[in-house]
Structure 1
Amino acid sequence: MASQNSSQVVNTAAPNERVLLANERVTGPAAAELILRSGIQTYEAGDYWSIHLLDNATGGGILLEKVFDLAAEKPFASPLKVIAAGDINEEMLDFVRRKRDTAVQSLGPTAQYWKVVDVRKVDQTFLQSEFPQVYFTHIFNNFGIFFSPDSDAALDSTYQTLTQGGVAGFTTWKSIAWWHSIAEPALANYIPEAPTLQTPDKLFPSRGWSDPEAVKAMLEKAGFCEVDVTEFGFTPEIEPEDFTEAMAVLVQVVAKKGWSEQVFERYADQIGPALLKYMQASFPNGRWDGKMTAILAIGRKV
């Protein structure tokens, strides 16, 4: 996922599809929980009787996967009529298009939903530019809002693009727990000569999204009512090798910002192996038993 076009761009896009899929194993549980808490499966849209859904800052499209899995398991009260996936990162959009095409060709239970997904480049601070005449019943943003250089503008754009009574849902990280329990000790133990690193939250352009009360205040300021902000803790179900490679992407982004070019070139390739060695030495079967904590925020347009 990358932030919107600005001088504050923070590119944490996965370098390959395998790592992107690993990232989705980490972000997927919170997306699934957000969908359930949004009540989309029981939504009734008055005279329209249909759901118009936007997966904003879609990344690899894991939220859509969770929506479609739920819909296939238990049909929604209202049909999924309009489905859009938007992101500023073209590599992510290409990945979602491939995921869509593969799902459609499989003829599986979710193919009927994937075949109508409209994938397009969208700036989350100005959704109206791509959807001037579309008003969504649901807009979800899974771990993307804090990448925006102006999250107030992104919230306002989300609000304006919702239909009356529409629902918006956001996930953010309260803390990146593995940073302190894995990354910091791994580098200290296996690359002790490398400079220490700042925590990754300092890199995100929009601040305040790790504080549940601040998140609630920001949604209410944007005009949302019935705002519900809760915490959701979970342990990712992911192989140690995949988890460490996914973690290494973010650690390297932080290192590239915090280290000199010479220092980065010297130590960057050692980060992934250091993370894996530490996990194998510290946890049963190399599997981290800690918990990620996400913030789930849901609001409605009056």
Structure 2
Amino acid sequence: MSAQAATLKAAKELSKLFETINKAATSANASWEDVLLDNARRVSTPLVIQMLTQMGIDLHGNKPIAPFTLFENACGAGVVAPVLQKTVNPDVLAKSSILCGDFSTPCIGLVENRIKGEGWVNTKVKRIDAQKTELESASFDYVTTNIGFHVIPDSEAALDETIRILKPGGVLGFTTWHRPPTWVDELQEVFASFPFEAPYTWTLQMTPWGKWTDVQWVRKTLAAKGLEDVNVDIYAHLSKVDSPSHFIAQNAMMLDWIMDSAWSEELKNSHPREEVQGLVKDYLEKKYEGGSWDISWISLIASARKPL
């Protein structure tokens, strides 16, 4: 299989996993909802706080925030919306509007439950294709996309849609990965230890357009799209893995994705997910002596303004 074909297959399998995440992203230790919420808290929330700050949204109460309309694209379990709910003045939220959108039906249901259960103010969620949102032009003050553009099949269409639905003077913000997280190499190390040949592939970017890991490319592309006040930076942070069991719970979906992308049906039938999860856990138990460790994440954070 060529590198391009492998990337296309990986992208297809990842999309399938998110659409059926309520069945795929499970382990013996956590529900798929718990997995998404835990990853959102430990991994995505620090990125989003940095992104919103870079977009000019003061989350610390030092500067007044005017009422706003915001679209959280590729929202997953919801990351931007809950940060705003916890930090923005309630009087401002009462006059603002937040829309969460994702292509994954299970994720939409999860966000719906969070809106009701956590009492999010003026927040709605709907199924939205980032490549063709069908949202009204010039309707949002802010549009965010957290860890999304590098895995959207037609990422240029998604970027153009983002710009289209921004109001003149509106600000877009997004994050992508600048480097693979350290668990990628760790899993490769684990797979190499298996008592059978276990193919391992990992692709950071799954869209054929652009170089979403590249600061210079992102900077030039946003400027070429006619945007102003372009700011692209790198942000690194650590997230704690509590134990090998916690690692399995967090990464069950990724294990499924790697197997579906790189393994034959015969190999998957011979070595099902439960066996693979057990082998990974045993390896990590020995390596970390049953304790905790940190994963490092290095992201690209970009913001830009649509001209008036």
Structure 1 equivalent of residue 39 of structure 2: 23
Alignment equivalent of 1:115, drawn from 93, 108, 121: 121
Secondary structure of the corresponding residue to residue 198 of structure 1: coil
Secondary structure of the corresponding residue to residue 293 of structure 2: coil
Alignment equivalent of 1:125, drawn from 131, 142, 145: 131
Q: CA RMSD in A?
A: 2.5
Superposition map of 1:263-302 within 5 A: 263-267=267-271, 268-283=273-288, 286-302=291-307
User: What is the CA-CA distance between 1:174 and the residue it aligns to?
Assistant: 1.4
How has the CA–CA distance of structure 1 residues 180 and 86 changed in structure 2, closer, same or farther, with 3 Å as cutoff? closer
Structure 2 equivalent of residue 4 of structure 1: none
How has the CA–CA distance of structure 1 residues 78 and 210 changed in structure 2, closer, same or farther, with 3 Å as cutoff? same
Alignment equivalent of 1:216, drawn from 216, 219, 224: 219
How has the CA–CA distance of structure 1 residues 278 and 220 changed in structure 2, closer, same or farther, with 3 Å as cutoff? farther
Secondary structure of the corresponding residue to residue 10 of structure 1: helix
How has the CA–CA distance of structure 1 residues 76 and 147 changed in structure 2, closer, same or farther, with 3 Å as cutoff? farther
Structure 1 equivalent of residue 190 of structure 2: 186
Structure 2 equivalent of residue 35 of structure 1: 52
Indicate the percent of aligned positions where both proteins have the same amino acid. Answer: 24
User: What is the CA-CA distance between 1:144 and the residue it aligns to?
Assistant: 1.5
User: What is the CA-CA distance between 1:251 and the residue it aligns to?
Assistant: 2.7
- Rounded to whole Å, the distance in 2 between the matches of 1:98 and 1:147 is 26
Structure 1 equivalent of residue 112 of structure 2: 97
Q: Is it true that 1:248 corresponds to 2:252 in the alignment?
A: yes
TM-score, structure 1 as length reference: 0.83
Runs of 4+ in 1 over 4 A off after TM superposition: 75-80, 202-207
Contact 1:124 1:154 in 2 (8 A): yes
- Rounded to whole Å, the distance in 2 between the matches of 1:145 and 1:76 is 33
- Rounded to whole Å, the distance in 2 between the matches of 1:212 and 1:115 is 35
1:12-32, CA deviations, whole angstroms, 9 ceiling, x for partnerless residues? 434321221232122222112
How has the CA–CA distance of structure 1 residues 10 and 218 changed in structure 2, closer, same or farther, with 3 Å as cutoff? farther
Aligned residues: 278
Deviates further, 75-84 or 150-159: 75-84
Structure 2 equivalent of residue 3 of structure 1: none
Deviates further, 194-203 or 225-234: 194-203
How has the CA–CA distance of structure 1 residues 223 and 288 changed in structure 2, closer, same or farther, with 3 Å as cutoff? farther
TM-score, structure 2 as length reference: 0.81
Secondary structure of the corresponding residue to residue 237 of structure 1: strand
How has the CA–CA distance of structure 1 residues 180 and 55 changed in structure 2, closer, same or farther, with 3 Å as cutoff? closer
How has the CA–CA distance of structure 1 residues 284 and 32 changed in structure 2, closer, same or farther, with 3 Å as cutoff? farther
Structure 2 equivalent of residue 261 of structure 1: 265
Structure 2 letter corresponding to 1:263 = L
- Rounded to whole Å, the distance in 1 between the matches of 2:202 and 2:78 is 26
Contact 1:53 1:80 in 2 (8 A): no
User: What is the CA-CA distance between 1:175 and the residue it aligns to?
Assistant: 2.2
Deviates further, 278-287 or 53-62: 278-287
Secondary structure of the corresponding residue to residue 215 of structure 1: helix
1:214-267, CA deviations, whole angstroms, 9 ceiling, x for partnerless residues? 222232232222111111111113433333322231132122111111112333
Contact 2:150 2:206 in 1 (8 A): no
How has the CA–CA distance of structure 1 residues 43 and 208 changed in structure 2, closer, same or farther, with 3 Å as cutoff? farther
Structure 2 letter corresponding to 1:172 = T
Structure 1 equivalent of residue 88 of structure 2: 71
User: What is the CA-CA distance between 1:38 and the residue it aligns to?
Assistant: 1.5
Deviates further, 8-17 or 155-164: 8-17
Structure 2 equivalent of residue 166 of structure 1: 170
